[in-house]
């Protein structure tokens, strides 16, 4: 499989409504909504979010790779979402992971915490 | 008695190759199973007993290509395949596990798993199975037929429904909407003296052998004769088999008057009737299945066995059944366990009808068969583990640095961590007398922020929180509603409305859920971000730690329990002035992608100070000298602050915090347990050692360490009795209950 590479961006935890309206700074930003109040914006360099208590942190704790989704099916025991775009979260080969499925058909972005990178890579090899 | 003639077209004698049986080559023909090939060579695949050649019994088991307990009648012969017959009358030896590196990640499973989704899966490719499949296909449903004869051995039926199958190319997991069990019927095995001799086959097995052209010599048939096989049939009740050299030589029957007749034979074909092959249906339990054909038939039971081996797999005799019965095991499930009948490799496939018949003769009622459980077949660990994974253990960003430094890695708290770098004592002295760095990236790290954050933390923790000033921190226990210690860590205040909470490595995930649950429960306005895997942490500790920090550019280090955000060696860090080792310490939390850079910079800057990393083993010793608790290692599920001697960490004057009510109620009650320190001369005993007093075990050691500095064994452990003695016995030696900390009780060095 393709090597997992470090993903950099911003991690923002904020009021969901404020997060919905957030303006992200940076080129080619991909916003993964991990939870209603939690977003990982890959490629973001800044954010305007209307929440004085928002937690905004640089994030380098994830690694990922774009892969054909079919290559992962044998390692997933849960149904993939049919809507696009979608962020699926669960175990891939029994490793906590996320799968970003963009609007257009094609590869998906497999993400996991960097601390799981070796385990996930060896299991998908 | 009836003689039958040999069909002229019986034997297509075309050699297809050789297998190796007990080191000797054996020729097989196209289509032969391993058992068939061995029988063709004039020998038996197992060590005696009636052969069914249908996969129902355990009488043809052998080791095949290194895997024991293989049903050779279900295994196709192929050139070069190596067969070792199991020892006569004994189980095969278990393979010796070589010295394994238990610190290494287990190899990934090598058995492939294929997944199939169908509407209907039919278990059995006989006539009833084919009929069921055709019916489903006519209804427009997708169907998969599994046939053991085609090398598809059904191992298990699970909820889902899921059918697990061993195939010639790996494991097959069939996810189906409907399961049809069409496994047919098995032949009843004879139970009488001599039934473990070689040369006895069921009627159907005789038919197969005849069709394959195997020379069975003079065949005598008892009961229903095999079709198309030249046999001499004998009438009457089967009494016994007589043999010589482990092989049958004659079969003895009796007529209605009891008069016995002995008929010489090279092979005895036994046709005692059929019994439903319903193991998979019984395994299904709550999983709905449809049972069709002979598997669902109501068939007559075998005659009551009176003598002989009833369970060939386990060697259980009828006398053994009677003995267990007389000891009170008068129910099938109990009798099975007490006598071991039906506990062998065939799971009752051959013996269950006979055992049920035997019980029915005693009780007047036929007992229901027992529940069948996976696996129906012997499978290897690799096959059982196929498509499953061991738990993932996280690696810190410094993992490779540790390996390069010669660390022995071990799993602890869900992470790979350096246990030591080759010399624990040297690592210890580096901390006590110089400077050392340790990887503490595994600690839980939670950011909490919001207008209600102080209210949240005051309710969560038993210590005061509101009076922690920005830039300061406080050690805290985390209690549950029962006042039991769940975890511990630091509360670090950054601003009026933002804090960082730290937790133990192993407890961090639970602590995070705990915090989030209470925020939801109380409806508080607090945001939470788990930074555990986004931030690494390096602990710089030792009397020369401040010197190193200054060299690394930290001009104004925080005082004890203070914390600042500052660059260290050019890397942005959250610098926390804490101490777990008992020496001055700076915990540097920093982005994971800068960790290797920081680690190397600190080693470089501290080179002339004799800096070296320390592993967990040294850290545990250092903390033990300070008497610091490790939650999860020293604590039990119902450990309270009082039992730990940590009442100081609980402020009962607070009106409200989780666990307060329980602590208040139990405060007036006598406590029967205490976590205490112990010392004694000599080396430290093993952790977990029992603690003795007056000839009784009164506790156990939770942590032990031979202190290089104090020159004696230090221990922490539990005493569980109301009268707490001053002296106890550990490891056969007298130990003295000793106040903690053992080292620097005033804490001057940590604050230095």
Output the pLDDT for position B64. 93
* pLDDT tens-place string over residues B13-48: 457 899 999 999 999 999 999 999 999 999 999 889
pTM metric for this prediction: 0.74
Has the ipTM of the complex gone over 0.90? yes
Name the maximum alpha-carbon separation found in chain A: 44
Cβ separation B533–A113 shorter than 8 A? yes
- C-beta of residue B376 within 8 angstroms of C-beta of residue B83: no
In Å, how far from its chain's centre is CA B398?
30
* pLDDT tens-place string over residues B653-683: 999 999 999 999 999 898 889 999 999 999 9
Judged by average pLDDT, the poorest of B135-139, B297-301, B377-381 is B377-381
Output the pLDDT for position A80. 87
Q: How confident is the model at residue B10 (pLDDT cuts 50, 70, 90)?
A: very low
Residue B513 tokens read as 């859920």
Round to whole Å and give the CA distance between B490 and B503. 7
Output the pLDDT for position B14. 58
Give yes or no for B535 touching A (CB within 8 A). Answer: yes
Radius of gyration, alpha carbons of chain B: 36
Round to whole Å and give the CA distance between B585 and B572. 18
Cβ contacts (< 8 Å) between A96 and chain B: which residues?
392
Cβ separation B533–A123 shorter than 8 A? no
State the best of A4, A18, A47, A61 to mutate against chain B, taking most chain B CBs within 10 Å. Answer: A61
Round to whole Å and give the CA distance between B638 and B484. 5
Q: Which of B449, B525, B533 sits opposite A55 (nearest CB)?
A: B449
- C-beta of residue B691 within 8 angstroms of C-beta of residue B677: no
3-state secondary structure of B182: coil
Bridge partners for B116 per DSSP: B174
Give yes or no for B108 touching A (CB within 8 A). Answer: yes
B92 or A108, which is more confident: A108
Please give the DSSP secondary-structure letter assigned to residue B336. Answer: H
* pLDDT tens-place string over residues B272-313: 999 999 999 999 888 889 999 999 999 998 999 999 999 999
Q: How confident is the model at residue B104 (pLDDT cuts 50, 70, 90)?
A: low
Please spell the DSSP secondary structure of B563-602, one letter per residue. Answer: EEEEEETTEEEEEEEE-SSSS-EEEEEEEGGGHHHHHHHH
Round to whole Å and give the CA distance between B476 and B467. 14
SS (H, E, C) chain A: CCCCEEEEEEEEECCHHHHHCCEEECCCCEEEEEECCEEEEECCCEEECCCCCCEEEEEEEEEEEEECHHHCHHHCCCCCCCCCCEEEEEEECCEEEEEEECCCCCCEEEEEEHHHHHHHHHHHC
Q: What is the mean pLDDT of residues B490-512?
A: 97
Residue B261 makes CB contacts below 8 A (sequence gap 6+) with B234, B236, B252, B253, B254, B255
Round to whole Å and give the CA distance between B591 and B570. 12
**Per DSSP, which regions of B313-353 are E strands?**
316-317
User: Does residue A103 carry a pLDDT above 80?
Assistant: yes
Tokens 């624990």 found at: B424
User: Does residue B199 carry a pLDDT above 80?
Assistant: yes
What is the CA angle B559-B560-B562, rounded to 5? 70
Radius of gyration, alpha carbons of chain A: 15
- C-beta of residue B355 within 8 angstroms of C-beta of residue B336: yes
Q: How confident is the model at residue B6 (pLDDT cuts 50, 70, 90)?
A: very low
Is omega for the bond preceding B323 within 30 degrees of 0, making it cis? no
Query: CA nearest B231: which of B270, B287, B178?
Result: B270
User: Does residue B1 carry a pLDDT above 50?
Assistant: no
User: Does residue B148 carry a pLDDT above 80?
Assistant: yes
How near does any CA of chain B get to the CA of A20, in Å? Answer: 16
Helix, strand and coil in chain B, % to nearest 5: 25, 35, 45
Give yes or no for B520 touching A (CB within 8 A). Answer: no
Round to whole Å and give the CA distance between B25 and B375. 32
């Amino acid at each position: 499989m393709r090597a997992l590479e470090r993903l950099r961006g911003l991690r923002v935890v904020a009021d969901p409504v404020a997060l919905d309206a957030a303006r992200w700074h940076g080129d080619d930003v991909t916003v993964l909504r991990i939870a209603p109040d939690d977003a990982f914006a890959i490629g973001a360099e800044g954010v305007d979010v209307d929440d004085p208590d928002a937690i905004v942190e640089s994030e380098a704790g994830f690694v990922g790779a774009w892969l054909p989704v079919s290559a992962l099916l044998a390692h997933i025991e849960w149904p993939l979402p049919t809507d696009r775009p979608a962020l699926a979260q669960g175990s891939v080969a029994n490793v906590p992971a996320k799968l970003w499925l963009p609007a257009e058909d094609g590869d998906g972005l497999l993400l996991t915490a960097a601390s799981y990178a070796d385990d996930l890579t060896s299991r998908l090899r | 008695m009836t003689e039958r003639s040999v069909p002229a077209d019986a034997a297509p004698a075309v050699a297809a190759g050789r297998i190796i049986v007990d080191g000797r080559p054996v020729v097989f023909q196209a289509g032969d199973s391993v058992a068939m090939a061995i029988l063709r060579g004039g020998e038996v695949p197992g060590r005696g007993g009636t052969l069914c050649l249908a996969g129902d019994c355990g009488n043809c088991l052998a080791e095949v290509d290194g895997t024991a307990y293989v049903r050779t009648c279900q295994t196709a012969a192929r050139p070069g395949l190596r067969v070792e017959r199991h020892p006569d009358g004994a189980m095969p030896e278990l393979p010796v596990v070589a010295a394994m590196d238990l610190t290494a990640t287990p190899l990934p499973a090598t058995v492939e798993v294929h997944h199939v989704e169908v509407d209907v899966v039919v278990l059995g490719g006989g006539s009833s199975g084919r009929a069921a499949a055709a019916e489903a296909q006519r209804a427009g449903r997708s169907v998969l037929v599994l046939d053991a004869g085609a090398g598809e051995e059904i191992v298990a039926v699970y909820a889902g429904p899921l059918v697990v199958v061993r195939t010639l190319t790996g494991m097959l997991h069939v996810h189906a909407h409907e399961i049809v069990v069409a496994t047919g019927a098995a032949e009843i095995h004879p139970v009488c003296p001599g039934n473990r001799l070689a040369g006895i086959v069921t009627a159907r097995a005789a038919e197969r052998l005849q069709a394959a052209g195997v020379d069975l010599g003079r065949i005598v048939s008892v009961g229903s004769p095999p079709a198309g096989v030249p046999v001499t049939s004998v009438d009457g009740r089967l009494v016994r088999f007589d043999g010589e050299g482990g092989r049958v030589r004659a079969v003895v029957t009796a007529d209605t008057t009891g008069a016995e007749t002995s008929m010489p034979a090279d092979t005895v074909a036994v046709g005692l009737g059929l019994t439903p092959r319903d193991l998979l249906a019984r395994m299904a339990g709550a999983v709905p299945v449809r049972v069709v054909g002979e598997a669902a038939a109501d068939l007559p039971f075998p005659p009551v066995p009176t003598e002989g081996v009833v369970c060939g797999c386990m060697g259980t005799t009828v006398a053994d059944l009677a003995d267990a019965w007389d000891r009170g095991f008068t129910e099938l499930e109990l009798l099975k366990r007490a006598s071991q009948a039906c506990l062998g490799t065939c799971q009752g496939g051959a013996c269950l009808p006979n055992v049920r018949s035997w019980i029915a003769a005693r009780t007047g009622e036929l007992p229901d068969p027992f529940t069948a459980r996976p696996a129906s077949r012997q499978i290897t660990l690799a096959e059982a583990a196929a498509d499953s994974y061991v738990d993932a253990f996280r690696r810190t960003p410094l993992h490779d640095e540790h390996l390069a430094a010669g660390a022995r890695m071990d799993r602890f708290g869900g992470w790979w961590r350096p246990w030591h770098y080759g010399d624990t004592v040297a690592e210890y002295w580096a901390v006590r007398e110089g400077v050392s760095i340790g990887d503490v990236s595994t600690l839980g790290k939670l950011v909490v922020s919001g207008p209600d954050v102080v209210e949240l933390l005051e309710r969560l923790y038993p210590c005061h929180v509101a009076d922690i000033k920005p830039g300061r921190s406080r050690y805290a226990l985390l209690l549950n509603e029962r006042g039991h210690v769940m975890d511990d860590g630091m509360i670090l205040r950054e601003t009026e409305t933002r804090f960082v909470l730290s937790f133990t490595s192993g407890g961090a995930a639970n602590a995070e859920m705990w915090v989030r649950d209470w925020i939801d429960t109380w409806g508080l306005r607090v945001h939470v971000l788990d930074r555990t895997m986004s931030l690494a942490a390096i602990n710089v500790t030792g009397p020369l730690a401040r010197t190193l920090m200054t060299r690394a550019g930290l001009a104004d280090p925080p005082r004890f329990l203070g914390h600042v955000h500052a660059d260290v060696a050019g890397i942005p860090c959250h610098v926390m002035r804490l101490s777990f080792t008992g020496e001055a310490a700076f915990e540097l939390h920093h982005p994971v992608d800068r960790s290797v850079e920081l680690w190397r910079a600190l080693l470089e800057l501290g080179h002339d100070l004799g800096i070296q990393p320390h592993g967990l083993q040294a850290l545990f010793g250092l903390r033990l000298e300070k008497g610091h608790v490790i939650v999860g290692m020293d604590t039990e599920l119902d450990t309270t602050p009082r039992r730990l001697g940590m009442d100081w960490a609980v402020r009962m004057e607070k009106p409200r915090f989780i666990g307060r009510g329980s602590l208040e109620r139990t405060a007036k009650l006598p406590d029967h347990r205490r976590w205490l320190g112990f010392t004694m001369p000599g080396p430290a005993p093993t952790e977990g050692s029992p603690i003795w007093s007056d000839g009784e075990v009164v506790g156990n050691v939770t942590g032990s360490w031979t202190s290089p500095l104090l020159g004696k064994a230090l221990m922490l452990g539990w005493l569980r009795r109301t009268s707490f003695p001053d002296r106890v016995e550990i490891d056969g030696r007298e130990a003295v209950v000793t106040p903690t900390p053992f080292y620097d009780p005033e804490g001057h060095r940590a604050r230095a």
